[in-house]
């Protein structure tokens, strides 16, 4: 595929879980594209469907009790409905994923270096000595000091930030074109969060990868993404360039997320603004707009008729709302 074609094309993707109380649509009709050498942010509250979406895009959903429809094409290769053998040819080599808790990705009783070696030997076909040398290079690439020494250590000997760097090194072992990062800074202090995010941005530029950054924190994506997909109750409710969504968002839910983000301009101990109410039960979604019960702008129409995405301008900005914010709003 040429660089002029999207690296990733997601079209009308749906993920429905079969539960004892009935079907639960965790992802409903999601569509977006990702270009080469681009960072896309997927944002939303916990339970909005963003993690399920990222796993579905990669083809990581189990075959039992899950129905996936739509399309997820990576370099033109369809992952929805692909066989395990077909997906294994893609995993690690074309797309890799970083999960939010590095200790769930690392084997606590296996030395760090051996865990990266295994990927290099199985996925890249390197010899034992070549895999060791490359693993040490990857540890150095992600900023781990004394990589030769760390190569021989166990995950428990490292801090949370260092373990996340090891996970990133392992993800890069197959030289993927796409890196999916699901809440990669959860549980880390603010300084380490910034280091990890700066590392991902630097690696994207140096290795010419594309990155999908999944997070609930708009502060994480503010300066590190070119486009944003805002999700609520399994659906895309606003999408556009990061700059446009921060400055001229139209969806009240997007504004609520922005207002709930901490700002340096606020005095110390300022209470964060919270969104009233609770996220909907995906097994019992209300009629109409799912955000309507929590929205200050909701009208009778919002409670009975679901809005579809509509263009805000001619520049790829879309929103799903019957009563969009009346005027563009700036954010500091």
pLDDT tens by residue, 174-210: 999 999 999 988 878 888 889 999 999 999 999 999 9
pLDDT at 3: 63
pLDDT at 322: 96
In DSSP terms, 72 is beta-bridged to 10
- 87: burial class by Cβ within 10 Å (0-12, 13-18, 19+)? middle
Lowest mean pLDDT among 57-66, 144-153, 206-215, 219-228: 57-66
Average pLDDT value for the chain = 90
Q: Contact, 214 vs 181, CB < 8 A?
A: yes
Q: What percent of the chain has pLDDT over 70?
A: 94
* 269 pLDDT tier (thresholds 50, 70, 90): low
In DSSP terms, 66 is beta-bridged to 17
Diameter of the chain measured on Cα atoms: 68
Q: Contact, 221 vs 242, CB < 8 A?
A: yes
| 243 token code pair | 């700059």
Distance CA 15, CA 61 (A): 9
Distance CA 46, CA 206 (A): 32
Whether the predicted pLDDT of 266 surpasses 80: no
Tell me the residue length of the chain: 332
Higher pLDDT pick, 314 / 14: 14
pLDDT at 241: 95
Whether the predicted pLDDT of 331 surpasses 60: no
Whether the predicted pLDDT of 56 surpasses 90: yes
pLDDT at 101: 81
Q: Contact, 25 vs 14, CB < 8 A?
A: yes
| 159 token code pair | 């801090």
Whether the predicted pLDDT of 330 surpasses 60: no
pLDDT at 69: 95
| 11 token code pair | 């079209």
Listed by start position, the domains of the chain span 8-94+177-319, 105-175
Q: 210-215 and 39-43: which strand pairing?
A: parallel
Q: What percent of the chain has pLDDT over 90?
A: 69
Distance CA 240, CA 228 (A): 6
pLDDT at 259: 85
Residue 107's CB: how many other CB atoms inside 10 A?
13
Q: Contact, 31 vs 10, CB < 8 A?
A: yes
| 97 token code pair | 């994923």
Sign, CA dihedral 191-255-41-23, equals positive
What pTM, to 2 d.p., does this model score? 0.91
User: In terms of Cα–Cα distance, which of 197, 190, 222 is closest to 211?
Assistant: 197
pLDDT at 229: 97
Whether the predicted pLDDT of 332 surpasses 90: no
Q: Which fold has domain 8-94+177-319?
A: Rossmann fold (3.40.50)
Whether the predicted pLDDT of 274 surpasses 90: no
- Residues 37-54 have a mean pLDDT of 94
For tokens 């909701």, what's the residue? 298
Distance CA 129, CA 126 (A): 8
Residue 154's CB: how many other CB atoms inside 10 A?
15
Whether the predicted pLDDT of 329 surpasses 50: no
């Amino acid at each position: 595929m040429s660089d002029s074609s999207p690296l990733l094309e997601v079209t009308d993707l749906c993920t429905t879980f079969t539960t004892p109380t009935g079907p639960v649509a965790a992802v409903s009709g999601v569509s977006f594209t990702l270009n080469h050498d681009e960072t896309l942010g997927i944002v939303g509250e916990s339970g909005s469907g963003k993690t399920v979406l990222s796993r579905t895009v990669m083809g990581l959903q189990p075959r039992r009790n899950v129905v996936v429809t739509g399309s997820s094409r990576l370099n033109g290769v369809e992952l929805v409905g692909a066989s395990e053998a077909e997906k294994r040819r893609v995993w690690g080599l074309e797309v890799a994923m970083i999960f939010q808790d590095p200790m769930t990705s690392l084997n606590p009783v296996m030395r760090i270096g051996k865990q990266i070696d295994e990927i290099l030997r199985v996925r890249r076909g390197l010899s034992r000595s070549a895999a060791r040398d490359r693993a040490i290079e990857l540890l150095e690439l992600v900023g781990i000091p004394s990589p030769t020494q760390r190569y021989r250590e166990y995950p428990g000997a490292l801090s949370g930030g260092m373990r996340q760097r090891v996970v990133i090194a392992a993800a890069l072992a197959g030289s993927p074109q796409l890196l999916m990062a699901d809440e990669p800074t959860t549980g880390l202090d603010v300084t380490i969060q910034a280091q990890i995010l700066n590392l991902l941005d630097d690696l994207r530029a140096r290795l010419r990868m594309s990155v999908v950054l999944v997070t609930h924190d708009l502060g994480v994506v503010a300066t590190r993404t070119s486009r944003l997909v805002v999700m609520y109750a399994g659906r895309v409710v606003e999408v556009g360039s990061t700059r446009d969504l921060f400055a001229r968002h139209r969806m009240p839910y997007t504004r609520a997320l922005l207002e709930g983000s901490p700002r340096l301009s606020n005095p110390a101990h300022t209470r964060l603004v919270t969104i009233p109410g609770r996220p909907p039960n995906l097994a019992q979604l209300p009629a109409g707009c799912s955000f309507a019960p929590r929205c200050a702008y909701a009208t009778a129409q919002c409670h009975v008729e679901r809005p579809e995405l509509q263009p805000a301008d001619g520049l790829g900005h879309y929103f799903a709302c019957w009563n969009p914010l009346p005027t563009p709003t700036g954010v500091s």
